[in-house]
Copies of this chain bind each other. A is one copy, B any other.
Amino acid sequence: MTTRSPELRRDPVTNRWVIFSPARAKRPTDFKSKTPQNPNNNNNTASCPFCIGREHECAPEIFRVPGDGPDWKIRVIENLYPAVSRNLERSDNPGGGGGMGFPARVMTGFGFHDVVIEGPVHSVQLCDMEGSQIGEVLLAYKKRIEQIMSIESIKYVQVFKNHGASAGASMSHSHSQIMALPIIPSSVSARLDGMKEHFDNTGKCSLCEIQGGELLINETSHFISIVPFAATFPFEIWIIPRDHSSHFHELDGEKAADLGGLLRLMLRKMSLQLNNPPFNFMIHTSPFQATGWQLQYSHWFLQIVPQLSGVGGFEMGTGCYINPVFPEDAAKVLREVDLPNGGFN
């Protein structure tokens, strides 16, 4: 372990400052989850509505990816407890405090909140699947996003996965979620501003420029995985398409399978190195209505965050995070995780 002074870094993409503070750190190889997830040991299969054969207990199905015979491989369904409602008209300032004649402060909670059941069997988690199977899950996201795109008042779609109770998952059956919103959220605006600033300064897309170098973990034909320059969280990972692409839903079948393989590798490395931590992943895409100019500097990516530490008052107050592991140290550890067959099979 290198003994280093604390350092502040501002990421060109998120445009946020992060404090790297090795004085608080264990050695990078000593980070382990204190709440490891062992979903195969859980005993609530009998009551899981996401399992095959219990479809009638779920909210309505939107579509399914058929499997062999009568079975299904993937189901996209409505969320039984949606945070936003598909049954509302969008309207600004529907009444109540806040409407004051200038930019809207109140809106009805119109939107879509869907669930992607990633497989029919309770014990099979995403990282247990083949890369091509994970690719099919990614293509299910794409298909659902393309359906939602036709609705004019939807501005942004957030695809995310919560794995483990402390990462926000209420169900242990492998699933992810798609939330479609009538607004562009603040973190998305900040990211676009950061990418624009980089483009204005250099004439180049901030993510096309990344070659990896000492931040590289692994690479495939179409994607690279890195620890970002100013990673907000220890062992945070970004998977970035090599070719410039603003929207996740531009993904085709070949690239989906390629990404599925790299995502699987990252989840398996993280699981082995960090003791099966709870984790989140998020797909950071562009707003639907992004214009020609924005498409030049906006580049989608997938962010994976293992849940190794909580958030305190400093982070809540400032939006500035303290990360005890330098990104180049985390990348080295993850690059060198030794999986059977290099982890691709």
Contacts and interface: CB of A to CB of B under 8 A. Distances in A.
Nearest to A200: B102
A319 B280 contact: no
Contacts of A342: none
A210 to B, nearest CB: 10
B84 A19 contact: yes
Nearest to A312: B168
Interface of A: 5-12, 15-17, 19-21, 23-24, 81-85, 88, 94, 97-98, 100, 102-109, 156, 158, 160-162, 166-169, 177, 179, 181-183, 185-188, 190, 197, 201-202, 213, 229-230, 280-284, 303, 305, 310-314, 316-320, 322
Interface of A is mostly: mixed
A98 B317 contact: no
A320 B186 contact: yes
Contacts of A230: 98, 105
Contacts of A88: 5-6
7 cross-chain pairs, A with B, having the tightest CB-CB distances, nearest first: A168-B312, A6-B109, A160-B313, A187-B319, A282-B317, A185-B318, A280-B313
Contact of A85 (B6, B158, B303, B320): B6
- Identical subunits present: 2
17 contacts: A6-B84, A6-B88, A8-B106, A10-B98, A10-B104, A17-B186, A21-B109, A23-B82, A24-B83, A156-B318, A158-B318, A160-B313, A169-B312, A185-B318, A187-B320, A188-B318, A283-B317
A310 B283 CA distance: 20
Contacts of A314: 83, 158, 160, 168, 177, 179
A270 to B, nearest CB: 15
A5 B313 contact: no
Contact of A106 (B7, B82, B160, B319): B7
B21 A319 contact: no
A15 to B, nearest CB: 7
Nearest to A214: B97
Given A19-B83, A23-B81, A5 B108 contact: yes
A7 B158 contact: no
Given A6-B84, A280-B312, 4 more contacts: A5-B85, A5-B88, A8-B109, A281-B313
Contacts of A168: 310-314
A84 B17 CA distance: 13
Contacts of A213: 97
Nearest to A283: B317
A160 B317 contact: yes
A197 B314 CA distance: 25
A291 B59 CA distance: 54
B100 A202 contact: yes
B317 A106 contact: no
Contacts of A202: 100, 102
